[in-house]
């Protein structure tokens, strides 16, 4: 006997309930005389991503018999036309109606509270067995392919993320962008394309969003219509619902590879040269403070993950993120995540709070997923007070813009500092800015590796060490260009040599460098 056999409601839907001493059968949901499911089951069904909850029992029982008959007749038949031509993303109205009936009958047979206590792998096997049993009982002729698809999609509605599961499992998909219930785009190899995936309606999409964000202790509703969350695999999630989203709920998922990219992968992709990778490895191991700068979708987090792989395993690393997505491989890592306010407006924990607390945790290095506000001041002070070797990311288009944005974020901390004092803090804390960019063809490149030299008067001085120059597009629309070394020997070379990294003078000689590591 399967584990879920003990938690199934063995009652057939059409069999009468045998009352217990309280007038209701133990382990069952009492059914009203109208034959409608009760509000309790409807809420459980809606929570699992099922059909829309019906009206209250009192409203249902107030209908006359002809009205109840008319209501029943409006329900989609098993093989009839679906009311939503784009339902469930299967492309078949009959299959959509079948999946809806399967899901409804499945929920009636399960004790959802007990299901939540059973191991997920066991639940999956048992639920698939129940779905197959229900399909056999319906006697609907289906091909083997259609039967398997209906079984998989129904199981996904109960256990997974519904129509999104297929895209989440696709390793070639880097972004999933849901504009509405009927428009789902994906990015593959830097290019966006419309998919055939569909949700039944906006309510179905909101249910999937709620399921995603509730797993990480977040909420989304009309009073808090925007949320950042993550999937179990660490993929970044952002969702927006009405009234902020005018055309219906919107969902954006930035996926990360289950096997994190290494620095050699970025070299093979042409994002940098082997010489640049060797220099960055020496910089991280020599405990220089690095800021990874770039626009949205330019690959900052991926590069940050690669740079963090150079951190020695005997160092204590503390990470701070809004939504945990870093994939550090070191054994001694403490991961911290910000927290939004609750319904009463209390309990918020900001990135600045976490940076301050981190200083009391004896970190060797601090890694901030992204600096957005006043935490920049605390981060710079940490870099200046013995926590060297720290790494963070920041949104900016150029290294110079990166330093200017740091000044703006220091002001966001509410501390009025003279401009010169702010710039002195920046110039003494930041050693290197690595500029990342997304090209027109979707590829990512490190366009600048810039050293922060110091101050000249009131100006922070910098010098470019490596760069990337775009020369045009080829016949296939791919960006053509080359990396170059600007011929400047960095001032930090003395510190690199102190940690055992030596570079020949020719290493920084002015020259063009090929994007192709094999050439």
- Using H for helix, E for strand and C for coil, what is the string for 322-342? CCCCCCCCCCCEEEEECECCC
Angstrom distance (rounded) from CA 468 to CA 449: 9
- Residue 263 belongs to a domain: no
Q: Domain boundary residue among 132, 157, 182?
A: 157
- Residue 497 phi, psi dihedral angles, 5° rounding: -70, -30
Q: Which two three-digit tokens encode residue 201?
A: 């309606």
Task: Evaluate whether residue 264 is within a structural domain.
Answer: no
Q: In whole angstroms, what is the distance from residue 198 CA to residue 130 CA?
A: 25
Same domain, 317 and 362: yes
Which of residues 130 and 69 earns the better pLDDT score? 130
Q: Is the model's pLDDT at 293 over the cut of 90?
A: yes
Residue-level pLDDT at 444: 92
What region does 91 belong to: left with phi over 0, alpha with psi -120 to 50, or beta? left
Q: Rounded CA gap, 492 and 490, in Å?
A: 5
- For the chain, the domain total comes to 3
CATH number of the structural domain spanning residue 191: 3.30.450.370
| Final residue of a structural domain among 254, 287, 304 | 254
91 pLDDT tier (thresholds 50, 70, 90): very low
What mean pLDDT value characterizes the chain? 79
pLDDT of residue 80: 33
Count, residues in the chain = 519
Do 277 and 294 fall within a single domain?
yes
Q: What is the pLDDT of residues 372-414, one digit of tens each?
A: 999 999 999 999 888 899 999 999 999 999 999 999 999 998 8
**Adjacent-strand bridge partners of 493:** none
The H or E element that residue 44 is part of is helix 39-47
- Whether the pLDDT of residue 281 is over 70: the answer is yes
Spatial separation of the C-alpha atoms in residues 401 and 378, rounded to whole Å: 20
Q: 368 and 475 share a domain?
A: yes
Rounded Cα gap, residues 399 and 493, in angstroms: 20
pLDDT in tens, 319-360: 999 877 888 888 899 999 998 888 787 888 999 999 999 999
Domain CATH code at residue 359: 3.40.50.300
Res. 163 pLDDT band, cuts 50 70 90: confident
pLDDT digits (tens, 9 = 90+) for 383-392: 988 889 999 9
Query: How many CA atoms, within 13 angstroms, populate the side-chain half-sphere of residue 229?
Result: 22
pLDDT over 60 (residue 5):
no
What is the DSSP-derived secondary structure letter of residue 262?
Answer: P
**Domain of 301?**
272-508
Hey, what are 178's tokens?
A: 């849901």
């Amino acid at each position: 006997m399967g584990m879920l056999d003990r938690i199934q409601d063995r009652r057939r839907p059409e069999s009468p309930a045998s009352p217990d001493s309280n007038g209701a059968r133990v382990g069952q949901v009492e059914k009203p005389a109208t034959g409608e499911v009760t509000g309790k089951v409807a809420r459980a069904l809606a929570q699992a991503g099922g059909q829309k909850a019906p009206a209250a029992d009192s409203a249902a029982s107030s209908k006359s018999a002809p009205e109840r008959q008319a209501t029943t007749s409006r329900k989609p038949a098993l093989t009839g036309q679906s009311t939503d031509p784009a339902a469930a993303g299967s492309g078949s109205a009959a299959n959509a109606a079948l999946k809806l009936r399967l899901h409804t009958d499945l929920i009636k047979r399960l004790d959802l509270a007990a299901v939540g206590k059973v191991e997920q792998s066991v639940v999956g096997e048992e639920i698939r067995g129940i779905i197959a049993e229900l399909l056999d009982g319906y006697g609907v002729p289906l091909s083997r392919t259609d039967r398997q698809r209906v079984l998989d999609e129904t199981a996904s509605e109960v256990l997974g993320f519904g129509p999104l599961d297929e895209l989440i499992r696709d390793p070639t998909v880097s972004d999933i962008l849901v504009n509405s219930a009927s428009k789902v785009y994906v990015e593959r190899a830097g290019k966006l394309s419309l998919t055939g995936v569909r949700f039944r309606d906006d309510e179905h999409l909101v249910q999937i969003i709620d399921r995603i964000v509730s797993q990480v202790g977040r909420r989304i509703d009309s009073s808090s219509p925007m949320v950042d969350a993550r999937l179990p695999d660490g993929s970044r999630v952002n969702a927006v619902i009405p009234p902020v989203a005018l055309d219906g709920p919107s969902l954006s998922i930035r996926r990360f590879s289950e096997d994190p990219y290494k620095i050699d992968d970025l070299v093979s992709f042409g994002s940098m040269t082997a010489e640049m990778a060797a220099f960055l490895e020496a910089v991280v191991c020599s405990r220089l403070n690095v800021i990874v700068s770039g626009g949205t979708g330019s690959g900052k987090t991926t590069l940050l993950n690669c740079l963090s792989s150079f951190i020695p395993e005997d160092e204590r690393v503390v990470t701070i993120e809004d939504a945990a997505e870093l994939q550090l491989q070191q054994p001694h890592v403490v991961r911290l995540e910000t927290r939004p306010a609750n319904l009463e407006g209390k309990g918020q924990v900001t990135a600045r709070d976490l940076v301050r607390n981190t200083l009391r945790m004896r970190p060797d290095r601090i890694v901030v997923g992204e600096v957005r506000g006043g935490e920049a001041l605390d981060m710079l002070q940490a870099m200046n007070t013995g926590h060297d070797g720290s790494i963070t990311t920041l949104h900016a288009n150029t290294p110079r813009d990166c330093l200017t944005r740091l000044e703006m974020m220091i002001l966001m901390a509410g501390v009025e500092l003279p401009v010169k004092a702010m710039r002195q803090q920046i110039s003494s804390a930041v050693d290197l800015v690595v500029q990342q960019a997304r090209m027109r063809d979707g590829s990512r490149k490190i366009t600048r590796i810039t050293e922060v030299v110091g101050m000249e008067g009131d100006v922070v001085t910098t010098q470019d060490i490596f760069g990337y120059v775009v020369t045009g597009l080829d016949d296939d629309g791919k960006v053509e260009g080359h990396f170059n070394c600007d011929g400047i020997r960095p001032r930090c070379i003395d510190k690199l040599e102190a940690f055992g990294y030596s570079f020949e003078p020719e290493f920084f000689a002015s020259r063009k460098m090929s994007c192709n590591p094999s050439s």
